[in-house]
Amino acid sequence: MNYPFFSVVIPTLNEEKNLPILLKSLTKQTDKDYEVTVIDSGSTDKTKTVAESFKSKIPCFRFVEHKCRNVSAARNFGASLSRGKFLIFFDADVEIESKFFKKIKEKISQYDLDALTVWNRAKKNKFTGRFILGLLNLSMTLSQKLKPAANGPCIVIKRDIFEKVKGFDERIVFGEDFDLIQRAHRSKAKFAVFPEPILFVSTRRFEKEGLFVSLFKSIKAILYQQIFGPIRKPIFEYEMGGQYYK
């Protein structure tokens, strides 16, 4: 049986407004060697209806309901249903350029990579979001050699490596993306961060919480993980799901 090269996994919770933007960008990919699994954690809006409207537009597409409201559990479940050589985990509120998969495949081949991520670019031209994303991009780039890190909007990882490190740690309440790449790095996986292909991410959380609160949370999380390790208990409030922004 021929399996796709990429398996895209998208966890959702009340993302009726943002999910169709991502799914539409997936339909425009020049490289069609992929499948898509949307794992929904009990949305109460029209996320399911919106997602299922793409079944005829994306050849290998599935929408699965998963009642546990835990993003790591949703991602792990989605990965278990997928068959691609490489897993791509997207947040539901991102958007990608039309040659995203083509360029990712080229980088994997050129650099013999096991995992990678790309810079986050703000969907909206607002200072708060652009400033914080700029800091996050710089941090990811500079940390590649010592403590490699990737953040949730986009993680690409070889299935064999993902299974070897047993996927996302479902006990972690924040920073599960950082932890996954750390464990992959310790298992000798080759990881890299690239400025492109282009990934647009939502800055809605930064806009809602403001510059100083957003910076405080980001810096606190980074320092905690560097000093104490995985964050397995809440160190600040961090609500998930599209309903938080209504």
* pLDDT for residue 246: 63
121 strand-pairing partners: 200
Listed in order, strand segments (DSSP E) in the chain are 6-12, 34-40, 61-65, 86-90, 95-96, 115-118, 121-122, 154-158, 191-194, 199-201
User: Per-residue pLDDT averaged across 202-208, rounded?
Assistant: 86
pLDDT surpassing 80 at residue 81 = yes
105-109, 131-135, 149-153, 231-235: which has the highest mean pLDDT?
105-109
Residue of 117, 128, 89 whose CA lies nearest to 218? 128
**How would DSSP label each residue in 56-100?**
TTSSSEEEEE-----HHHHHHHHHHH---SEEEEE-TT-EE-TTH
* pLDDT for residue 82: 96
Domain that holds residue 190: 6-236
- Does residue 244 lie in a domain region? no
The pLDDT tens digits of the residues spanning 218-246 come to: 889 888 888 888 999 998 888 777 665 56
The pLDDT tens digits of the residues spanning 25-73 come to: 999 999 999 999 999 999 999 999 999 999 999 989 999 999 888 999 9
Q: What is the pTM of this model?
A: 0.94
Sequence-ordered list of residues with C-beta below 8 angstroms from that of 80, at least 6 positions apart, any chain: none
* pLDDT for residue 203: 87
Residue 152: band (very low, low, confident or very high) from pLDDT cuts 50, 70, 90: confident
Residue 234 phi/psi, 5-degree rounding, is: -60, 130
Average pLDDT in the chain:
92
Question: What CATH number corresponds to the domain at position 104?
Answer: 3.90.550.10
Residue of 10, 90, 101 whose CA lies nearest to 47? 10
Domain tally, the chain: 1
* pLDDT for residue 2: 85
In Å, how far are 27, 89, 101, 224, 246 from 33, measured between CA atoms? 11, 16, 8, 39, 36
- Does residue 1 lie in a domain region? no
* pLDDT for residue 244: 59
- Does residue 246 lie in a domain region? no
